[in-house]
Copies of this chain bind each other. A is one copy, B any other.
Amino acid sequence: MPKKQRVITKIKDKRTKPDIRRALTTSAAADDNTTIIALMLKPGQLSPAMASYFAKCQEKLGFVPNVLAAYAFDNAKLEAFVAMYNDLMLGPSGLSKLEREMIAVAVSSQNRCYYCLVAHGAAVRVLSGDPPLGELMVMNYRAARLNKRQRAMLDFAVKLTVEPWAIKENDREVLRRAGFTARDIWDIAAITGFFNMSNRVASATDMRPNSVYHGQAR
């Protein structure tokens, strides 16, 4: 393979139903006219559950997020990623969906992850209806006018990202005093951890975001 060739993760698969194939084709090629990751991985076979999930993305969002297309080379990995992502970001929690996305972006800003900043920066704008808030999370969350709760939440998430070895009981205590329960603290930790993972998978593979994110909720 020539050194500079970048090859799309081909997620077109004749065994998937036509509408899913169109969805995948759209996200991976037609919509962005670019490759998704810098690794040439052979297409995998989506399980019915995942095929249905992709179809739902296509129907509701109008596209399949490229991170899903990237994982689609291996259905087991895709399912594990989707299960964890959906539990953390969409499941029951004392943190609002916006707060979870704020953590996602503040963490991704420390790791300078292009994919996650684009995709989740858009989510902050959409969920908050406040475009500058999305920019603040991308650029420097410390410049945002946050309430005490959200500032404490992001301070913890960013410290945990930058120097995890230095977290101590007092850091958890600050969260408790800001009103967070033990379960909330777990969720802040788990979401921070999750994006420290995703940022690295995206950076390691040079993952590119769907272009549609750029214009959302500006």
Q: Which residues of A contact B (CB under 8 A)?
A: 3-4, 38-41, 73, 76-77, 79-81, 83-84, 87, 91, 109, 111-114, 117-118, 131-132, 135-136, 138-140, 142-143, 156, 160-161, 164-169, 172-173, 182-183, 185-186, 188-190, 192-194, 196-201, 203-206, 211, 214-215, 218
Contacts and interface: CB of A to CB of B under 8 A. Distances in A.
Contact of A143 (B77, B114, B140): B114
A201 B193 contact: yes
A211 to B, nearest CB: 7
Contact of A194 (B91, B166, B197): B197
Contacts of A109: 112, 139
Contacts of A77: 87, 190
Interface of A is mostly: helix
Give me the 7 closest cross-chain CB pairs, A-B, nearest first. A189-B204, A112-B165, A193-B197, A197-B197, A80-B84, A114-B143, A39-B182
Nearest to A6: B169
Nearest to A188: B204
Oligomer: number of copies: 6
Nearest to A118: B135
Most chain B beta-carbon neighbours within 10 Å: one of A168, A186, A199: A186
Nearest to A200: B193
A95 to B, nearest CB: 14
A41 B183 contact: yes
B83 A160 contact: no
A12 to B, nearest CB: 17
A108 B132 CA distance: 17
A112 B156 CA distance: 17
Contacts of A172: 38-39, 204
